[in-house]
Amino acid sequence: MRFLVLFTLVLALSCVIYYGFIQFVDPYGEYGTGTFPVLVLDSRRAKLQLLHRFAEQGPVGGLILGSSRSLLMRPELLSGSDQSRVFNFAVDNAHAEDFLAIYHYAIAQKINPKFLVIGLDVASLHSDDAHDHMFDRSELKNYLENTGDTSSWPPMKWLSDVKSLYTKDYLKDAFKAIWMKIRHQTPKTKFATDGYEVQYSGAQSPAGEIGPLHDFSDDVKSYMQRLSGMRDLSHKRLNYLRQLFTEARQHNATVVVWLTPIHPRLNELITQNTNYADLIKKVNVEAENWVSAYGIHYKDYSDIRTFGGLETAWSDSTHLDWRNMDRVAHALVGEVPHGL
């Protein structure tokens, strides 16, 4: 059995060395080591801190929730006539659980927003019910079921956090961070104090240009991957949304939900191959119930003509650039009764 003992010891040693390496390189900026550039800014973690600081400086009137598609929504455009302070809490790959957990966090921080503007993607209601790995790693996870900061049993939480470091993607990003340091490159993503994205990653360039010759084949594949296995809307995630609407109503907050679009030509290709159009219909059917049962405001902007969007103002095939995003913001302010 000495062979097995040696095997186990080497395995354990590898784990320890890897753990030390990841802590030292810190590609997601989680440990504050600061030796290497932060490669992928964890938007959830960063915005939790930013919101905390933002709230210390004055009351928060509104929250923008959504996925990376809402990162470029300018908070000041939703300030309304009373110039409310609005915070953009859009995060990468957001699902319904993110929206509910963020709201719980805000309430726990004594932030009672007067309104919530939620950019809803069809994939935010994906039937796989799988959390984004960054959600699982963030403090937000503790706020999903509860409104207080009650963590799971600390050793298990620690174990779960540590385990999530041991992936090939984490290792790859660690090496990328080292490479950036060697090449003297700077981090690509940065948020302003109100959560707005001011320094952009490749996909989030502020002004994109999708011309008539743009090749959508890779976009189709990548979006197919995102929708992979999504036959229906997740009941679990729909319940998270219903819970959010109920609690917002109890706190007298106005909720505005807008369904995000993808580029019209990608939409056309995706519709040919998947049940995407069917999923949009299902969201709209659900939304009718939300409007009548919870008094929320709902706008289906999956067709860019509904908010006067431009076919060229896209960062990429699934992300509106700032010009289209401003149009969405103006349309939302105009559509919602009494403004925001």
Partner 1 sequence: MVFNSDIFLFVFFPVVFILFWSFKAKQARYVILTVSSYVFYGYWDWRFCWLLFISSMISFFTAILVDGSPTRRRRLAWMTASIVIDLTILGFFKYYNFFTSNIYSLFTSSAPPLLRVVLPVGISFYTFHTISYIVDVTQGKVRATRNLFEYLTYVSLFSQLVAGPIVRFRQIEEDLERIDHPPKEEQVAVGIGFFVVGLIKKCVIADSIAKEIDPMLAAYTSMSVAGAWAAALGYTFQLYYDFSGYSDMAIGLGHLFGIRIPQNFDSPYQATGIRDFWRRWHISLSSWLRDYLYIGLGGNRRGEVRTNLNLMLTMLLGGLWHGASWTFVAWGAYHGVLLTCDRAYEQFWARVPVAIRRSVTFLLVIFGWVLFRSATFEMARVWLWKMFGSATLSGGVTAPLLFWVVLCLPLVNLLKDTWYFQFPTTRRWAVAYALAFFVAYLFMNGAKTVFLYYQF
The H-or-E segment that residue 147 falls in is: none
Part in contact with partner 1 (CB under 8 A); list of ranges 48-56, 142-150, 224-232, 248-256: 224-232
For the record, the structure tokens of 325 come out as 């995003």
Phi (first) and psi of residue 145, to 5 degrees: -90, -25
Decide if residue 239 touches partner 1 (CB under 8 A).
no
**What whole-number distance in Å separates Cα of residue 302 and Cα of residue 285?**
14
Q: Among residue numbers 181 through 220, which ones bind partner 1 (CB under 8 A)? A: 215, 217-218, 220
Part in contact with partner 1 (CB under 8 A); list of ranges 12-20, 98-106, 188-196, 234-242: 12-20
Q: Among residue numbers 99 through 158, which ones bind partner 1 (CB under 8 A)? A: 130, 133
CA torsion sign for 216, 220, 223, 225 is: negative
Decide if residue 225 touches partner 1 (CB under 8 A).
yes
Decide if residue 33 touches partner 1 (CB under 8 A).
no
Nearest residue (CB) to partner 1, 205 versus 274? 274
Window 268-307: contact mask with partner 1 (x via CB under 8 A): -x--xxx---------------------------------
For the record, the structure tokens of 257 come out as 């939900």
Window 251-270: contact mask with partner 1 (x via CB under 8 A): ------------------x-
Least gap, CB of 172 to partner 1 (angstroms): 9
Decide if residue 231 touches partner 1 (CB under 8 A).
no
**What whole-number distance in Å separates Cα of residue 181 and Cα of residue 250?**
49
Q: In this chain, which of 14, 49, 146, 151 binds partner 1, going by CB under 8 A?
A: 14
**What whole-number distance in Å separates Cα of residue 147 and Cα of residue 109?**
10
Decide if residue 310 touches partner 1 (CB under 8 A).
no
Exposure letters 82-107 (e unless 16+ CB within 10 A, then b): eebbbbbbbbbbbbbbbbbbbbbbbb
Place of tokens 């969405």: 328
For the record, the structure tokens of 198 come out as 């001011």
Part in contact with partner 1 (CB under 8 A); list of ranges 95-103, 159-167, 190-198, 287-295: 159-167
For the record, the structure tokens of 142 come out as 């503790």
Part in contact with partner 1 (CB under 8 A); list of ranges 9-17, 72-80, 181-189, 307-315: 9-17
In the chain, DSSP assigns E strands to: 62-66, 86-88, 115-120, 190-191, 197-199, 254-259, 297-300, 314-316, 319-320
Q: In this chain, which of 192, 224, 331, 336 binds partner 1, going by CB under 8 A?
A: 224
Q: In this chain, which of 21, 31, 166, 175 binds partner 1, going by CB under 8 A?
A: 166
Part in contact with partner 1 (CB under 8 A); list of ranges 23-31, 100-108, 166-174, 251-259: 166-174
**What whole-number distance in Å separates Cα of residue 224 and Cα of residue 228?**
6
Decide if residue 4 touches partner 1 (CB under 8 A).
yes
Task: Report how far apart, in Å, the C-alpha atoms of 34 and of each of 179, 187, 317, 335 are.
Answer: 15, 12, 34, 45
Place of tokens 């097995």: 4
Part in contact with partner 1 (CB under 8 A); list of ranges 36-44, 76-84, 165-173, 177-185: 165-173
Phi (first) and psi of residue 312, to 5 degrees: -100, -15
For the record, the structure tokens of 193 come out as 């104090």
Contact (Cβ atoms closer than 8 angstroms) between residue 260 and residue 66 = yes
Least gap, CB of 263 to partner 1 (angstroms): 16
Contact (Cβ atoms closer than 8 angstroms) between residue 136 and residue 178 = no
Residues that bind partner 1 (CB under 8 A): 1-4, 6-11, 14-15, 18, 130, 133, 163-164, 166-169, 171, 215, 217-218, 220-222, 224-225, 228, 269, 272-274
